[in-house]
Amino acid sequence: MIVLGVESSCDETGLALYDTQRGLLSHALYSQVAMHEEYGGVVPELASRDHIRRAIPLLEQALQGAAITPQQIDAIAYTQGPGLAGALLVGSSVACSLGLALDKPVLGIHHLEGHLLSPLLASEPPEFPFVALLVSGGHTQLMRVDGVGQYELLGETLDDAAGEAFDKSAKLLGLGYPGGPAISRLAEFGDPEAYKLPRPMLHSKDLMFSFSGLKTAVLTVAKNQGLANICEQDKANIARGFVDAIVDVLTAKCVAALKQTGLKRLVIAGGVGANKQLRASLDAAAAKKRFKVYYPELEFCTDNGAMIAFAGAMRLQINPLAAQRDYSFNV
């Protein structure tokens, strides 16, 4: 069975083809990051319009890469939400129009399920059950995953998501959009002793997170140094203080979730999962506490079509009726 995946929830247009026999056949991706950069964040209207421009050329690219014809597609999976409404509407209308034209069934996929299952696209995928840390721009959640569709929420953020904290703190320091990779790079040059920032909820004895206070701490430190003329080294020191704090909290909560569930496998998903410092910290904890940690391929950490095609294929393997010839899409 070949599933076409369509992702358009935010600022990446992704189309991919996944074959349940042969694995991922192709994936085509266009990131709008450069377009939104000058506004310091995603402009929803521009995002929707750009998805419209990119979707069909990316579909052609994916089909070419997989060397198949549109008729060979068995089902179409699209991101149903959560995400920007206008952006989601583009992906769902592309998916439903294709479904109607090709007479193929369609199914909506929860964006977070796409992220959650993306580490299973790796060459050595984890077995179920596992604990998953989902760290994206919009979400921070710890889940127990017993199988496809069998998810138990263990904890989540009370306010900002981890990616949001990265992006907002980076913005305060005058770094570009998206801020996550930028603040992470800058932190490498920072002095870890210069600023010890708070580790919110580190000792809360549950699996909840809170990052808005950390962002405020970055603002306070930056203001104290004089926001406008803060020197590069000091910026790097603040970045280091921020990254160390957030990584400490994420690592400690993952370890606590493993302890609570008694599981020995940890899976990381979502854009922040690409973070170098987080990976190093989790690898160190895994070696010390004897658990195994799995990451998606770097290209599948942030939004992409492959994870949606894959999640669709997994859903259909469990329930072939999950996809329907119902083209009245809803997002």
As a whole number of angstroms, the distance between CA 131 and CA 16 comes to 26
Q: Does residue number 50 form part of the binding site for Zn ion (CB under 5 A)?
A: no
List 155, 271, 296, 312, residue binding ligand KG4 (CB under 6 A): 271
3 near 316, Cβ under 8 Å?
Answer: yes
Q: Which of residues 278-307 bind Zn ion (CB under 5 A)?
A: 303
- In the list 28, 131, 236, 272, the residue contacting ligand KG4 (rule: CB under 6 A) is 272
Could you give the string, one character per residue 82-121, with x where binding to ligand KG4 holds by CB under 6 A and - elsewhere?
---------------------------------x------
Residue 180 contacts ligand KG4 per CB under 6 A: yes
On whether 136 is known to bind a ligand per the annotation, the reply is yes
Q: Alpha-carbon distance 288 to 290, whole Å?
A: 6
AA letter at 286 = A
Determine whether the annotation assigns residue 167 to a binding site.
yes
The residue within the footprint of Zn ion, chosen from 13, 80, 118, 136 (CB under 5 A), is: 136
Distance CA 298, CA 235 (A): 26
Kindly provide the residue ranges of all beta strands, DSSP E only, lying in 22-129, ordered along the sequence.
Answer: 23-31, 75-81, 106-110
User: Do the Cβ atoms of 79 and 272 come closer than 8 Å?
Assistant: no
Among 14, 99, 163, 305, binds ligand KG4 (CB under 6 A): 163
- Is residue 123 marked as binding? no
Query: Cβ distance 86 to 45 under 8 Å?
Result: yes
- Kindly report the backbone phi and psi dihedral angles of residue 196, in degrees, each rounded to the nearest multiple of 5, phi listed first: -95, 105
Distance CA 194, CA 204 (A): 26
Binding window for Zn ion (CB under 5 A); candidates: 48-56, 98-106, 118-126, 134-142: 134-142
The owner of tokens 């479904």 is 99
Q: CA triplet 122, 124, 128: central angle to 5 degrees?
A: 95
Residue 167 interacts with Zn ion (CB under 5 A): yes or no: no
- Minimum separation from the CB atom of position 20 to ligand KG4 (A): 25
Stretch that binds ligand KG4, among 43-51, 160-168, 252-260, 317-325 (CB under 6 A): 160-168
* Contact predicate 77/311, CB 8 Å: yes
Closer residue to ligand KG4, CB minimum distance, 84 or 257: 84
Quickly count: other Cβ atoms within 10 Å of residue 323's Cβ: 22
- Under the binding rule (CB under 6 A), the answer on residue 296 touching ligand KG4 is no
Interacting residues with Zn ion (CB under 5 A): 136, 303
Interacting residues with ligand KG4 (CB under 6 A): 10, 115, 136-138, 163, 166-167, 178-181, 184, 270-272, 274-275, 302-303
Q: Which residue ranges make up the annotated binding site for substrate? A: 134-138, 167, 180, 275
Q: Which residue ranges make up the annotated binding site for Fe cation? A: 111, 115, 303
